[in-house]
């Protein structure tokens, strides 16, 4: 019985934390629409680019609550990604499922997708730490500002990653 209560508590904490952190991200994202356009990424690549960042943040928040994945499983993290992205209207629910699948296929240690996940994880962790410490809201907002959109080198590496992926999958 104890294990089920622990899982429920962890999932509730996870949902609350993701909602708080990515609510802050949505505010900062809405102020940065021009930055998305300036990446000059194709629509699918842009979705994957942002998806890597978001999944990294959600994954880090899950592991901050349940380091050993005893209560919050990979399926819960993926479901939270879909719910977060569709709930905040970043992507539709159908697009969210496709984006998370693509992100999972793209990730390899040290590549651009992995780097974006790391940035999302770091920012989400910094944001949640600022919130829990009672910092001024500007600290949390700064942590979730989509600065990854300004990293020209990362964008270039991601374009190459997407091109290589599309070629190996015979999609282009």
Tens of pLDDT, residue by residue over 43-52, are 999 999 999 9
- Is residue 172 included in any domain, yes or no? no
- Is residue 155 included in any domain, yes or no? yes
Number of domains in the chain: 1
- What is the predicted pLDDT for the residue at 150? 96
- What is the predicted pLDDT for the residue at 4? 65
Question: Are 50 and 37 spatial neighbours (Cβ–Cβ below 8 Å)?
Answer: no
- Is residue 108 included in any domain, yes or no? yes
* Sign of the dihedral defined by the CA atoms of residues 150, 156, 157, 161, in that order: positive
The band of 74, judged by pLDDT with boundaries at 50, 70 and 90, is very high
* Sign of the dihedral defined by the CA atoms of residues 124, 128, 129, 131, in that order: positive
pLDDT per residue over 59-71, tens digit each?
999 999 998 889 9
pTM of the full predicted structure? Answer: 0.94
- Is residue 122 included in any domain, yes or no? yes
8 φ, ψ to 5°? -60, -45
- Is residue 169 included in any domain, yes or no? no
- Is residue 48 included in any domain, yes or no? yes
- With a cut of 50, say whether residue 40 has pLDDT above it: yes
- DSSP codes of every residue in 85-135: HHHTTSS-HHHHHHHHHHHHHH--TTSHHHHHHHHHHHHHHHHHHHHHTT-
**Boundaries of domain holding 21:** 2-164
């Amino acid at each position: 019985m104890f294990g089920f209560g622990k899982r429920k508590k962890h999932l509730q904490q996870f949902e609350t934390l993701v909602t708080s952190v990515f609510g802050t991200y949505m505010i900062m994202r809405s102020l940065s629409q021009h930055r998305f356009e300036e990446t000059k990424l194709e629509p699918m690549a842009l979705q994957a680019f942002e998806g890597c960042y978001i999944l990294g943040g959600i994954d880090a928040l899950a592991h901050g609550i349940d380091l050993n994945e005893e209560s919050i499983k990979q399926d819960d993290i993926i479901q939270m990604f879909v719910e977060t992205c569709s709930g905040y209207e970043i992507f539709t629910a159908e697009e969210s499922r496709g984006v998370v699948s693509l992100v999972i296929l793209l990730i390899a240690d040290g590549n651009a997708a992995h780097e974006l996940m790391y940035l999302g994880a770091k920012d989400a962790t910094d944001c949640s730490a600022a919130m829990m410490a009672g910092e001024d809201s500007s600290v949390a907002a700064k942590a979730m500002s989509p600065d990854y959109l300004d990293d020209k080198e990362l964008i270039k590496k991601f374009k190459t990653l997407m091109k290589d992926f599309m070629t190996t999958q015979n999609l282009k």
